[in-house]
Structure 1
Amino acid sequence: MLWTILGWIVLGLVAGFIARAVVPGKDDIGILRTILLGILGSVVFGAIAGIFTGFNGFQPAGWIGSIIGAIVVLVIYNKVTGRKKVRG
């Protein structure tokens, strides 16, 4: 159980940091939000992939799916919170 939780934290941290590096601009969301971003990205992408593949249960995404999901979640987070507005 402890190793599973630590695995989710490491997955969330790595996926969240990569997502923050890919999405342009500066993110001041801290390490806890970065971890949660990566974990949420993994869950979201896993659920979406499950819909398209016909998988009937909960399945977290792998590394690539987690990063893609974290990028999507970060972009949505920035839109909802109004962060990173483009100056014109």
Structure 2
Amino acid sequence: MNSKTVSKPQDAMLKRLARVEGQIRGLQAMIQRGEECEAVAQQFSAARKALDKAYQELLACLLEDAVMRSEQDSVKMLARVRAIFTKYT
């Protein structure tokens, strides 16, 4: 990590992603132990939802950034958010 200061939203995102990383490692351990497919599926679902939530937070951050810009910049930023949302959702 570089020497830049991490903002509160970035810190929250990093913490959320660390939790997702932990869930993924837990999934790997469950599979290695040969746990039941339903239990593994349940954990997959939880990890997917956590990752989706992180992605939604990212989009909200982009929207907030767009609102804080000048009107012309805001229009460009909202178009960018729309493109990201439609491409990756």
Q: Name the TM-score, length of structure 2 as normaliser.
A: 0.33
Q: Which has the higher contact order (CA 8 A, sep 6+)?
A: 1
Q: Give the greater-gyration-radius structure (CA).
A: 2
Q: Name the TM-score, length of structure 1 as normaliser.
A: 0.33
Q: Which is helix-richer, 1 or 2?
A: 2
